[in-house]
Amino acid sequence: MRDDTSPTTLGGRSRVAIVTTHSELRETLAEADRSRAARVALVPTMGALHRGHASLLDEARRMADLVVASIFVNPLQFGAGEDLARYPRSLEADLAMCQQHGVSVVFAPSVDVVYPAWPPVVTVDPGPTGSILEGASRPEHFRGVLTVVAKLFGLVTPNVAIFGEKDYQQLVLVRQLATDLCMPVEVVGAETVRGLDGLALSSRNRYLSDSERACALALSRALAAGAAAGSGGATGVLAAAEAVLGSEPGVAVDYLTLRGTDFGEPPNAGEARLLVAAKVGGTRLIDNLAVQLS
């Protein structure tokens, strides 16, 4: 792969190549492929990287010879009135984390590179799963996510791509994208990383005040209570989770639902997924947990 001759290298000593255009990316990947029989992993991100992203990068490193991380705040997945303009951006720190976690190539394009025509003419329809739950309150969100992920898959042609289970509906939809559009990529979900207090790590947690963060802990507590009630079946799980959420007035619940792992009906017995979305102050938070039903 490129090192001294990379378009940009971090601190002049890193092996991380930072590329911003399609041609630089293709060239860098082609050279990497020539120098070793590389299995390539892609970790798509919107930057503002935290320990949750670090675990995705580590998983990618375990599964491949060469890790590509993309850093792109994708305007197509933000609705009007959402936090596109104030979405946290921290490129220098992100690059340092990529370097620490064995990333070989960072693709950090501008909006013009990803969307030469705006709005884009051809986009990916996420189908019915894209319009429920997160898609119900963010109507064009998953069209935006799947469109940019399809572009990244086309550009990087990774063998494997890693997505966090934290955005579980996104993970299900990306799997469907790869299957339905016959994309030769293995889509892997990596476990949610939590703070010591149980809050799922998210770039949006920084919007929470201390008191809001204390309220937000009701989400992970509710999921844990639901998961512990798996022997009571779906009804028992939902009742246990609802009891916790209902006791925290600072949390405005959008949805609490139990689904099959592929987002179908939950089974009578076996693995299901308990998902919650809620607003705490002005911040919308989501979380989910695996539940064993019996």
C-beta of 149 vs 234, nearer to ligand PAF: 149
Q: Which is nearer to ligand PAF, 148 or 234 (CB)?
A: 148
Closest contact distance (angstroms) between CB of 19 and ligand PAF is 17
Tell me whether residue 53 is one of the annotated catalytic residues.
yes
- Shortest distance in whole angstroms from residue 286 CB to ligand PAF: 11
Provide, rounded to whole angstroms, the least separation between the CB of residue 287 and ligand PAF. 14
Instruction: Specify the residue, 87 or 255, whose C-beta has the smaller distance to ligand PAF.
Output: 87
Kindly give, in sequence order, each residue whose CB lies less than 8 Å from that of residue 46, ignoring residues fewer than 6 positions away: 71, 72, 73, 74, 87, 203
- Tokens representing 9 are 């290298």
Q: Residue 55: in which H helix or E strand, if any?
A: helix 51-63
Which neighbouring-strand residues pair with 259?
273
Tokens (6 digits) for 250: 């600072």
β-pairing, 186-190 vs 160-164, is parallel
Tokens of 237: 């799980």
Identify whether the C-beta of residue 1 lies closer than 8 Å to the C-beta of residue 31: yes
Chain residues binding ligand PAF by CB under 6 A are 44-46, 74, 77, 145, 148-149, 167, 170
Q: CB within 8 A of 227, min separation 6: which ones? A: 237, 274, 289, 290, 291, 292
- Residue closer to ligand PAF (CB basis): 46 or 223: 46
| Closest distance to ligand PAF from the beta carbon of 102 (Å) | 19
Identify the three-state secondary structure at position 243: helix
Q: Cα separation of 177 and 200, whole Å?
A: 26
Report d(CA 38, CA 61) in Å as an integer. 12
53 CB-side CA count, 13 A: 27
Between 124 and 237, CB nearer to ligand PAF: 124
- Strands of 143-282 (E only): list them: 160-164, 186-190, 251-260, 270-280
Q: Among 22, 50, 53, 101, which one carries the catalytic annotation?
A: 53
Nearest distance, CB of residue 76 and ligand PAF, angstroms: 8
Which residues are the active-site residues?
53
